Chain A
């Protein structure tokens, strides 16, 4: 089971936080501090896995953003790395960054606009995450379905707003 997911920038600024188990504010603050210092201190191209207390920390950098996922010790690290990757794909697909299903040049990480998108639309990033993970487990692995869910709610938003702006009948 996943315990928490943090997104922070290269400067250590927190961009998104998701806690899958109850945690006091103090604990959260400490974890955020620990994670940013630990992950930011890592050399490039070293192992993506870390130990923190009894948890395993899986992190990956996409452009200027660090994705940092904590899992329990018996979980599969590589799979967690793919969870992060899938989330990035979902974000990219949603925010319309031309992220290819099979990027022609895989070493170029296309998520360059991601951080800004997430800063300005963080609530959307949370909604996408909620469709993707639920209660610390993967809920939906299909990219199409997740996006369909989000889009259908978005559509609803637009219709509702249109509806509301129409004169009453």
Chain B
């Protein structure tokens, strides 16, 4: 049956070949959707948009509910509804119609219906149940497209509980004759496997069949499932290793059909999938790994083309090689590969290189050593992502010797970081490193201070917990512990004396705990002082009530000393009436314990941190209560596992519709149930269990519903609580009092931070040596506690390494200074083109064509060339051979006009200008005594405006002063000494050099001449001179590569369609040649239907053009760093082509 459909389908394209272009008439500009979209883009305010959409939605609503609306109209309406939803307006009324459309529409309408459903509803939406039937129907359809759509929607979203209903049908599709159906079925099953693995357990053998499918596409799809299954249980699939290796070998060898190639790389997705599977299989398994060495080697070898996709494969290969059982020559190749990544100038590859290093550095720390200078550079990379990855790498190579430097770098990053997730992650890492490798008490406490203040209230709660645990349990000798605690106390007292308002709540909690517990260690510290500091915390507005209870608890401990009785009383009175019950309780405790010394000594014994509290885990003291309750008819307790089993049974028995509500309602309604007898009776079967449900976590502790657990092993437990205040964290700089300095262990106080040296590379080397210290030698990983700090050894070693890394540093320096700017390109080109222009053929005819060489640059080479080569240039006026060898020697409209006046004036032109291309000499203004004319001369690097002053009177004119000004141009006088006097019937000439300040289509110069006749008063004449922007355009000779770099860096662009010229020649070339002649452009390259053109506006303002023949127009795209330049240029291009 499906064969029939298939035949129809394959026959269709040929039947309908009249419309071969798929994209034609796609822009449904006349449709209602088109109107809506256009309407919205025209609006200016959000408010107007809302009004329009609401109106639209109202009209859609009216139409969808009308019985007369056909399915075809419904499809159109649905698309509009989707559009409205995507703008963020709810169109929930249309959901049900979307399902209806999917149900009842013909194929196309159905497709829109399914799309709408998948966009509108999420997996738990109740309406989705209505879709099941439709999907079932479509899966059984004889129409291939309907089956495809059903499979797609199934993998996109399908209620989990309904999978069994359609599973047999999907399974059946694995045997479908059409490979596309089989592939989609496999992917749908993969999706099922992900959301409900036990539902598809029984069809594992079918997966194997899919793996052996004759179609590579189906096989590829099945690998998704295998990757997942192997991840969970690698042991179960070892037997498939050889098959995977064979497949990979075939793929790499190019045995797959061409269809699977991506940019001429054979099936990269498949390759990478296989590599990932192999790495899972070969992990910690020598014999399995041995099977794959050969193919890995081949993959590495084959993937050498410089394309992103081959790098992707290489990266996966390297990962695989480092995951499986090592083989030395493969490792070597992989290491080289990583080196290529790390050293790549492409930032994406560099990032991956760093990542790969992070991955392998645990196995091979020397590899990091090789690239240390690159790593140092990456540490200062402007892209935070690179920086972050570098820190990740450093984190992996941290040891007791380099911990201070690395932690310093991490904290530096933390200060500038704004992303919460990164902060949490990094703060955790710093804390971990500090705990593992801290070189000294002082450093440890200070680092943790920064951690607490930067990490604020976002950080993992186990950081303060384990810190407090470390403090209370101690880890070294008694004396060391005492010193550590003392240092913490000192540090915190000074912090509180500073600005405690800026510290995060978590930190304040830590501080108050430490002060409560250990401030007595510092004998000279008055408890009253501490009490006062703590009281200050209580008075602060931003202190949360949770912190306050920590503070109160600390105070309770402090009253031991007795002297602070008075302030304790005051505080407890204030908080004794607090609205917060926890606070009130703490205040009561404080009150009572401060009065009763004996009780206090028992409840809060000093230095009791180490003795574990005895906990009656059997809860025997509750026995009486339990038996009473049982006697009263309560259900007996069932342990969690038993309850789980019963639940599972219940689920197995119940049919789907009821099964849904069972597990959800129990935990949430357990308390409410007991209050209403009717509900209780309804769920009586559950109520016995429900009370126990909350115990699940730990059966040893008594945990009551709704009661916060506030006491734990370390005392008061930190609770996660959404703190309202924005964590405006500023890092406190821990103040050190002189006494603390002395207190600190002298050997620890020498922190081996590199001292800044004047030379930056020396600094870098020093940094490198301190960062990578201990890697070259066998790094002894210190797992717990502190290692020996040995700062002395550290110093010595550092110097030795600095010299060894000198060479690498030099190389990287030269890389940095390599010329890269566009200016440099220009300069180089100038030199080249000057050489060519001097050997150029001299042309007797004056053309508008100027030398092809770019005539401008920065630097002195240009001006020198100008002055010395002036004569040569004059005699060889132009060279018209472009890079592409095209000769454009057509006569131009700018030829010398034969008017006698012009001729006579032009004879006054200086020799070096007379041979150059110039405009007609136009009269500007004249009176009885004096006439002004002007022309502009195109010099290679500038535009010269020549103003002729003709004295037509019989007397000499004196004190002539010519003054020019322009809004768009920069005018500078080039004449050596401005002519002041013109004798009778003679001509004087002024030269001005013009450059563009602000591009405009036409530019204008306004001027004024003031002069003195022999008799009479001084006179003034005003004039203006207009010239097109094209006079300032010069060709820009660049290579395609340079063009590429420039193109990407220019920000101003414009696009326009131009008419093509076709006079016999190939239209693109013909058009471009016309533009080239008329506008002085440089054609960089023409390939096929596209061409790139470059030009510059005097001076040094490049503009790039990309032209593409599109149907019968030329689509032109201009880019330039100068605003307005592209627009002006496109205008002149249009004019030039029109005139042609």
Contact partner of A107 (CB less than 8 A), chosen from B124, B259, B309, B1048, is B1048
Question: Nearest residue in A to B419 (C-beta to C-beta)?
Answer: A51
B16 and A159 within 8 A (CB): yes
Q: Which positions 1-44 of chain B face chain A at CB distance < 8 Å?
A: 9, 12-13, 15-16, 19, 21-24, 26-29, 33-34, 37
Q: How far is the CA of A14 from the CA of B421 in the complex (A)?
A: 24
Q: Which residues of B contact A97 (CB under 8 A)?
A: 23
Question: Nearest residue in A to B1092 (C-beta to C-beta)?
Answer: A105
Question: Nearest residue in A to B223 (C-beta to C-beta)?
Answer: A137
Given contacts A121-B28, A139-B184, contact A23 B122 (CB under 8 A): yes
Q: Which residues of B contact A123 (CB under 8 A)?
A: 79, 82, 112, 115
Decide yes or no whether B316 CB sits under 8 A from chain A: yes
A98 and B348 within 8 A (CB): no
Decide yes or no whether B260 CB sits under 8 A from chain A: yes
Decide yes or no whether B367 CB sits under 8 A from chain A: no
Contact partner of A78 (CB less than 8 A), chosen from B19, B23, B312, is B312
A135 and B316 within 8 A (CB): no
Question: Nearest residue in B to A38 (C-beta to C-beta)?
Answer: B419
In angstroms, how far is the closest chain A Cβ from the Cβ of B497?
Answer: 39
Give the total of A residues in contact with B, Cβ under 8 Å.
76
Q: Which residues of B contact A46 (CB under 8 A)?
A: 347, 382-383, 385
Q: Which residues of A contact B1117 (CB under 8 A)?
A: 108, 112
B22 and A151 within 8 A (CB): yes
Contact partner of B107 (CB less than 8 A), chosen from A23, A78, A135, A156, is A156
Decide yes or no whether A160 CB sits under 8 A from chain B: yes
Q: How far is the CA of A25 from the CA of B1090 in the complex (A)?
A: 45
Give the total of B residues in contact with A, Cβ under 8 Å.
93
Q: Which residues of A contact B86 (CB under 8 A)?
A: 14, 17, 122
A141 and B16 within 8 A (CB): no
In angstroms, how far is the closest chain B Cβ from the Cβ of A10?
Answer: 12
Decide yes or no whether B224 CB sits under 8 A from chain A: yes
A77 and B352 within 8 A (CB): yes
Contact with B along A101-122 (1 / 0, CB 8 A): 0001111101010001101111
Decide yes or no whether B386 CB sits under 8 A from chain A: yes
B183 and A120 within 8 A (CB): no
Q: Which residues of A contact B180 (CB under 8 A)?
A: 145, 149
Decide yes or no whether A138 CB sits under 8 A from chain B: yes
B115 and A154 within 8 A (CB): no
Contact with A along B1039-1062 (1 / 0, CB 8 A): 010011101100000010000000
Contact partner of A96 (CB less than 8 A), chosen from B22, B106, B312, B316, is B22
A82 and B1087 within 8 A (CB): no
B259 and A144 within 8 A (CB): yes
Q: How far is the CA of A97 from the CA of B350 in the complex (A)?
A: 33
A139 and B13 within 8 A (CB): no
Given contacts A22-B124, A104-B1088, A137-B187, contact A130 B152 (CB under 8 A): yes
> Which of B267-275, B791-799, B944-952 is found at the contact surface with chain A?
B267-275
Q: Which residues of A contact B383 (CB under 8 A)?
A: 43, 46-47
Given contacts A96-B23, A135-B155, A145-B259, contact A160 B268 (CB under 8 A): no
A51 and B106 within 8 A (CB): no
In angstroms, how far is the closest chain B Cβ from the Cβ of A55?
Answer: 10
Decide yes or no whether A88 CB sits under 8 A from chain B: no
Question: Nearest residue in B to A106 (C-beta to C-beta)?
Answer: B1044
Question: Nearest residue in B to A29 (C-beta to C-beta)?
Answer: B88
Given contacts A76-B272, A159-B12, contact A95 B308 (CB under 8 A): no
Q: Which positions 118-165 of chain A face chain B at CB distance < 8 Å?
A: 119-124, 126-127, 130, 134-135, 137-142, 144-145, 147, 149-160, 164
Q: Which residues of B contact A14 (CB under 8 A)?
A: 86
Contact partner of A105 (CB less than 8 A), chosen from B112, B187, B386, B1040, is B1040
Q: How far is the CA of A137 from the CA of B187 in the complex (A)?
A: 8
Decide yes or no whether B764 CB sits under 8 A from chain A: no
A98 and B1110 within 8 A (CB): yes
Q: Which positions 100-120 of chain B face chain A at CB distance < 8 Å?
A: 106-108, 111-112, 115, 119
Q: Which residues of A contact B184 (CB under 8 A)?
A: 134, 139
A98 and B106 within 8 A (CB): no
Q: Which residues of B contact A154 (CB under 8 A)?
A: 22
B1092 and A156 within 8 A (CB): no
Contact partner of B157 (CB less than 8 A), chosen from A22, A93, A121, is A22
In angstroms, how far is the closest chain B Cβ from the Cβ of A44?
Answer: 8
Q: Which residues of A contact B1087 (CB under 8 A)?
A: 104-105
In angstroms, how far is the closest chain B Cβ from the Cβ of A54?
Answer: 8
Contact partner of A47 (CB less than 8 A), chosen from B260, B386, B1048, B1092, is B386
Q: Which residues of B contact A4 (CB under 8 A)?
A: none
Q: A47-B383, A134-B155, A155-B13 known; 6 other A-B pairs, CB under 8 Å?
A: A51-B422, A95-B23, A134-B188, A149-B180, A153-B145, A159-B15
Q: List 10 A-B contacts (CB under 8 A).
A: A49-B351, A82-B268, A108-B1106, A123-B79, A134-B152, A141-B260, A142-B259, A149-B180, A153-B107, A159-B12
Listed from nearest, the 9 A-B pairs whose CB atoms lie closest are A96-B23, A78-B312, A104-B1087, A107-B1044, A135-B155, A135-B191, A22-B123, A142-B259, A46-B383
Interfacial residues, chain A to chain B (CB-CB below 8 A): 1, 14, 17, 22-25, 43-53, 74, 76-79, 81-82, 85-86, 93-98, 100, 104-108, 110, 112, 116-117, 119-124, 126-127, 130, 134-135, 137-142, 144-145, 147, 149-160, 164
Interfacial residues, chain B to chain A (CB-CB below 8 A): 9, 12-13, 15-16, 19, 21-24, 26-29, 33-34, 37, 72, 79, 82-83, 86, 106-108, 111-112, 115, 119, 122-124, 145, 148, 152, 155-157, 180, 183-184, 187-188, 190-191, 194, 217, 221, 224, 259-260, 262, 267-269, 272, 276, 308-309, 311-312, 315-316, 347-348, 350-352, 382-383, 385-386, 388, 419, 421-422, 1040, 1043-1045, 1047-1048, 1055, 1085, 1087-1090, 1092, 1106, 1108, 1110, 1117
